[in-house]
């Protein structure tokens, strides 16, 4: 399955819009029912309005009615493994724990699989909302 995810993430990466950083990222999200939903990063001249590949994949999946995810594979432009940023980790955590696969495009490194809870321990979630003022 990770080979399919990698292929999908690499295809999505080709569509990345990264004219400012040149750092094109692709993501492939596996839903609980076996569908693969992809995303790529989209930059903007107003930098805070950019959106990461992982979040675009999640938002696209949610727009298609998906709410349960098994794993996400992320691939960057170079030979290094990259992990989701803190914002993407928080968005992913909204939908429960899943495996995060960090891969690279050259095939020289083995992908690294890490449970999301290891990347974002003590995530803010719906149970924290009950501790309001």
pLDDT, tens digit, for every residue of 60-99? Answer: 999 999 999 999 999 999 889 999 999 999 999 999 999 9
Q: What is the domain extent for residue 84? A: 2-131
CATH code for position 19: 3.40.140.10
**Catalytic positions, written as ranges:** 54
Question: Is 4 one of the annotated binding-site residues?
Answer: no
Question: Is 40 one of the annotated binding-site residues?
Answer: no
Structure pTM? 0.93
Nearest by Cα to 108 from 77, 83, 80 = 80
Mean pLDDT of 20-47: 97
Domain count, the chain: 1
Interatomic CA distance for residues 26 and 56, integer angstroms: 10
Please say if the pLDDT value at position 47 is more than 80. Answer: yes
Please say if the pLDDT value at position 133 is more than 90. Answer: no
Interatomic CA distance for residues 48 and 8, integer angstroms: 27
């Amino acid at each position: 399955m990770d080979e399919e995810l990698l292929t999908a993430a690499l295809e999505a990466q080709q569509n990345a819009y990264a004219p400012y950083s040149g750092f094109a990222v692709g993501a492939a999200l596996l839903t609980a029912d076996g569908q693969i939903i992809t995303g790529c990063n989209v930059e903007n001249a107003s930098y805070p309005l950019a959106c990461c590949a992982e979040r675009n994949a999640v938002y696209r999946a949610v727009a298609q009615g998906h709410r349960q995810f098994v794993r996400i594979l992320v691939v960057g432009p170079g030979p290094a493994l990259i992990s989701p940023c803190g914002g993407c980790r928080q968005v992913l955590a909204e939908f429960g724990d899943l495996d995060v696969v960090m891969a690279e495009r050259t095939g020289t490194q083995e992908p690294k699989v890490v449970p999301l809870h290891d990347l974002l321990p003590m995530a803010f979630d719906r149970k924290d909302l009950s501790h309001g003022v």
